[in-house]
Amino acid sequence: MGDEKQLFEILVKALKCQLSVNQILHIASVRRNNAYKKTREYPKASTILSIVIVLLLMHHNGSFVGLYKERCIIAHSLYTLSVTRPVTKCSFCQNITKIDIVDSLSTDQFITKYAYTGRPILIKNAASNWLALKSLNFSFLKTLYDTTNFYAENKNLGCQFFSYKTRFTHLKQIFHMKEKTRELLKDDWYVGWSNCLTNATYILQQYYTPPAFMQSTDYDAGGVVWLFMGGGGSGADMHIDSVKRPSWQALINGAKTWYLKPPPECEHICKQNLNLTAYTGDVFVIDTNRWFHSTFIHPPTHGLNIAIGSEYD
């Protein structure tokens, strides 16, 4: 992971400076020679990763965009998604100095100012009347997934599971770990997953409605539903997503702090660090395809920190 992070940092800097493939190769060779002088042995993992990246770039005529569009044999990580994305136009973040926080939002305001502009906004208590706030917890989700053959079917449908910093490799491990283990790990685990199984998604949708400011739009209520759950501590590292549309996320229980940064190519134009904390019942609207983001999960006073969200169009 250390080698991957170093490669990620190099490629981000290369993007910011608009370097050519030859220049990236030169940087890699200098770093390799310096490492050799200090340690008398080559950093093998970094060398292999550099060769793979360079070969892929050569295959796509030195373009990160071609690499981004093709389906990979090996799945993307948060780091590779970040450096193989298309370059972003910086107008979306140019005049944003803080994240808007409001108590209410009309449909017209949402469509005109936020829906597709990339401007993030937090709407306080927009989900406070959802049944999910009372019912959606670890036991509810375990029962739902155990009775719908969710684990195997969701995986077969290609849905995603993000283990973040945990040792878990699939969702079933979460819902079938011993209660004592769950309590021991309470401050040390956080995961996310998408729901592709139609019947499970339908049941989940009985416990929430699209936020009010979306209900009179052409919002696709049948989109993929995302859930995030865990104890306290760090959530997702700084990354950018590769999903089809902007999204909203509602906090069902607990508190979550979001940290946002513009993409590297916009550092000289847009404010660098934005943050906010969402609480139970709040809804956060963000285009995670444009903003780099990370999260911190505040230890809940009871139960687990749970959030639910979806894309909209």
Predicted confidence pLDDT, tens digits, the chain (313 residues): 555 556 556 655 655 565 555 555 555 555 444 544 444 443 455 555 555 555 555 555 554 445 444 545 445 555 555 556 678 899 999 999 999 999 999 999 999 999 999 999 999 999 999 999 999 999 999 999 988 878 888 878 878 888 888 888 888 888 988 776 666 566 678 899 998 888 888 899 899 988 888 876 565 544 689 999 988 888 888 988 887 789 999 999 999 999 999 999 999 999 999 999 999 999 999 999 999 999 999 988 888 999 999 888 7
Alpha carbons 197 and 150: distance in angstroms, whole number: 7
Tokens representing residue 233 in the block: 């501590």
Q: CA-based angle 257:101:272, to the nearest 5?
A: 60
How many CB atoms within 10 Å of residue 56?
15
Name, in order, each residue with C-beta under 8 angstroms of 136's C-beta and a sequence gap of 6 or more.
204, 207, 252, 306, 308
**DSSP string spanning 107-157?**
HHHIIIIITTT---EEETTTTTT-THHHH-SHHHHHHHHHTTTHHHHHHHT
Task: Give the pLDDT confidence score for residue 36 in this predicted structure.
Answer: 41
Task: Give the pLDDT confidence score for residue 22 in this predicted structure.
Answer: 55
Task: Give the pLDDT confidence score for residue 49 in this predicted structure.
Answer: 57
Task: Give the pLDDT confidence score for residue 55 in this predicted structure.
Answer: 56
Name beta bridge partners: 191.
Answer: 229
Scan for tokens 């401007």, then name that residue. Answer: 119
Task: Give the pLDDT confidence score for residue 300 in this predicted structure.
Answer: 84
Q: Are 217 and 245 in contact (CB under 8 A)?
A: no
Alpha carbons 214 and 210: distance in angstroms, whole number: 6
Domains of the chain: 2-83 (no CATH), 91-311 (2.60.120.650)
Alpha carbons 160 and 192: distance in angstroms, whole number: 8
Task: Walk across the sheet containing 100-102 and list its strands.
Answer: 100-102, 121-123, 283-286, 247-253, 305-311, 225-230, 190-195, 161-162
Task: Give the pLDDT confidence score for residue 75 in this predicted structure.
Answer: 52
